[in-house]
């Protein structure tokens, strides 16, 4: 079977954006409509991101004027792809956070809290913050918060500075996930809070976590630990790593974030949000094309070869 070509990837990305435009409420509002030029810009930004070229000022200006489009387009594609492949759908979702190191030197926390920039510290990203990962250690930078299917297809992304907690982000995502009609959301212990578990249950969604810090001696804590210890929930907890961590590696490769701490090539929260959102979009496009052409779902090497 022939493999997809550069025009195939571009044609699918253009068609996705056109379908998104026609379904987007903003396109029906009075004022400046979406245009062919904007469609071309989105394609251009995606290609430049894949080439690891972030110098285009037009990209930053366009996304400043359309601040919600980065995350909304990713979420819309997630919904659009449901009918294409069962790997892109399912009532079980998975949530996790991944850290990305800021471009430039680190700003040590003592100096950062004091607002003091040591002499000779050049090219510092002042918006980045600190956080610690089990796998990466302490990282000065930013974090992506992804929602995926069991097969690792990204359904939503939010990007914040590294110190913003998983709990804060998942509480913002909650309503959209409840409305999506999912059955379960599986996440690590950072998302575990019994009040949150009860709230999600009231909205018909089971929040599954390892519950490592939940006391077995409290009535509710003991019941929850017993519940997540059931075979079907243990199985979902095992799937979580394969549903999220390979995606983080794919996105890092797509945007050119190298090294164990995945160092970014741009600075500032606005540009990092754009970079990681476009990286997520590229991962979606790669998986969609792979599904159509019968290629391994997580194979990004072919897309990178024909576009770069």
User: What are the φ/ψ torsions at residue 277 (nearest 5 degrees)?
Assistant: -70, -45
pLDDT of residue 174: 97
As a whole number of angstroms, the distance between CA 190 and CA 169 comes to 11
* 166, two tokens: 């998983």
pLDDT digits (tens, 9 = 90+) for 252-308: 999 999 888 999 999 999 889 989 999 999 999 999 999 999 999 999 999 999 988
pLDDT class of 215 with cuts at 50, 70, 90: confident
pLDDT of residue 51: 86
Checking if the pLDDT of 67 tops 60, the result is no
pLDDT of residue 66: 55
Checking if the pLDDT of 99 tops 70, the result is yes
Closest CA to 146 of 218, 193, 98: 98
pLDDT of residue 31: 42
pLDDT of residue 151: 97
Checking if the pLDDT of 33 tops 50, the result is no
pLDDT of residue 34: 47
- Map residue 140 onto helix, strand or coil: strand
Domain membership flag for residue 1: no
- Could you say which DSSP state residue 90 is in? -
**CB-side exposure of 174: number of CA atoms within 13 Å?**
20
pLDDT of residue 30: 40
- Map residue 144 onto helix, strand or coil: strand
- Mean local confidence (pLDDT), 233-255: 96
Name, in order, each residue with C-beta under 8 angstroms of 103's C-beta and a sequence gap of 6 or more.
123, 125, 263, 264, 265, 266, 267
pLDDT class of 40 with cuts at 50, 70, 90: confident
As a whole number of angstroms, the distance between CA 9 and CA 4 comes to 7
Q: How many domains does the chain have?
A: 1
Closest CA to 296 of 252, 245, 246: 246
Angle at 75 between CA 57 and CA 71, to 5 degrees: 30
Domain membership flag for residue 293: yes
In 10 A of CB 42, how many CB atoms?
23
* 3, two tokens: 């493999």
Domain membership flag for residue 143: yes
pLDDT of residue 18: 87
Domain membership flag for residue 211: yes
Domain membership flag for residue 243: yes
Mean pLDDT across the chain = 89
* 56, two tokens: 């285009």
Distant-in-sequence contacts of 79-83, Cβ < 8 A, 24+ apart: 80/16, 80/19, 80/20, 81/153, 81/284, 81/288
Q: What sign has the CA pseudo-torsion 77, 258, 256, 5?
A: negative
pLDDT digits (tens, 9 = 90+) for 131-140: 998 888 999 9
Q: What is the residue range of 49's domain?
A: 6-307
pLDDT digits (tens, 9 = 90+) for 100-129: 999 999 999 999 999 999 998 999 999 999
Name, in order, each residue with C-beta under 8 angstroms of 251's C-beta and a sequence gap of 6 or more.
144, 257, 276, 279, 280, 282, 283
As a whole number of angstroms, the distance between CA 276 and CA 190 comes to 22
pLDDT of residue 2: 84
pLDDT digits (tens, 9 = 90+) for 1-31: 689 999 999 999 999 988 988 887 554 444 4
Checking if the pLDDT of 55 tops 70, the result is no
pLDDT class of 64 with cuts at 50, 70, 90: low
What burial letters (b/e) apply to 94-124, b meaning 16+ CB within 10 Å? bbbbbbbbbbbebbeeeebeeeeeeeeeeeb
As a whole number of angstroms, the distance between CA 226 and CA 127 comes to 42
pLDDT digits (tens, 9 = 90+) for 149-163: 999 999 999 999 999
pLDDT digits (tens, 9 = 90+) for 190-207: 999 999 999 999 999 999
Q: Bridge-partner residues for 139, per DSSP?
A: 131
Domain membership flag for residue 110: yes
More confident residue, 134 or 35: 134
More confident residue, 61 or 257: 257
């Amino acid at each position: 079977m022939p493999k997809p070509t550069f025009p195939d990837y571009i044609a699918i990305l253009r068609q996705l954006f056109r379908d998104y435009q026609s379904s987007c409420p903003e396109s029906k509002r009075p004022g400046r409509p979406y245009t062919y030029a904007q469609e071309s810009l989105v394609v251009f930004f995606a290609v430049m991101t894949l080439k690891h070229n972030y110098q285009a000022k037009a990209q930053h200006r366009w996304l400043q004027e359309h601040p919600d489009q980065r995350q909304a387009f990713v979420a819309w594609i997630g919904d659009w792809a449901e009918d294409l492949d069962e790997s892109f759908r399912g009532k079980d979702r998975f949530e996790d956070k991944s850290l990305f190191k800021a471009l430039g030197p680190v700003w040590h926390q003592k100096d950062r809290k004091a607002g003091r920039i040591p002499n000779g510290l050049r090219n510092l990203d002042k918006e980045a913050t600190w956080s610690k990962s089990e796998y990466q250690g302490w990282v000065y930078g930013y974090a992506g918060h992804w929602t995926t299917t069991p097969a690792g297809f990204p359904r939503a992304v939010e990007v914040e500075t590294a110190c913003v907690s998983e709990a804060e982000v998942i509480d913002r995502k909650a309503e959209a996930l409840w409305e999506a009609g999912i059955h379960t959301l599986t996440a690590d212990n950072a998302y575990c809070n019994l009040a949150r578990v009860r709230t999600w249950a009231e909205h018909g969604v089971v929040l599954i976590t390892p519950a490592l810090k939940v006391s077995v001696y409290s009535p509710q804590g003991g019941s929850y630990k017993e519940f997540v210890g059931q075979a079907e929930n243990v199985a979902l907890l095992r799937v979580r790593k394969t549903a999220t961590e390979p995606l983080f590696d794919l996105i890092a490769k797509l945007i050119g974030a190298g090294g164990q701490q995945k160092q970014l090539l741009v600075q500032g929260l606005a540009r990092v949000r754009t970079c990681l959102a476009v990286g997520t979009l590229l991962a979606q496009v790669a998986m969609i094309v792979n599904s159509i052409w019968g290629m391994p779902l997580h194979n990004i090497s072919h897309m990178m070869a024909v576009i770069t």
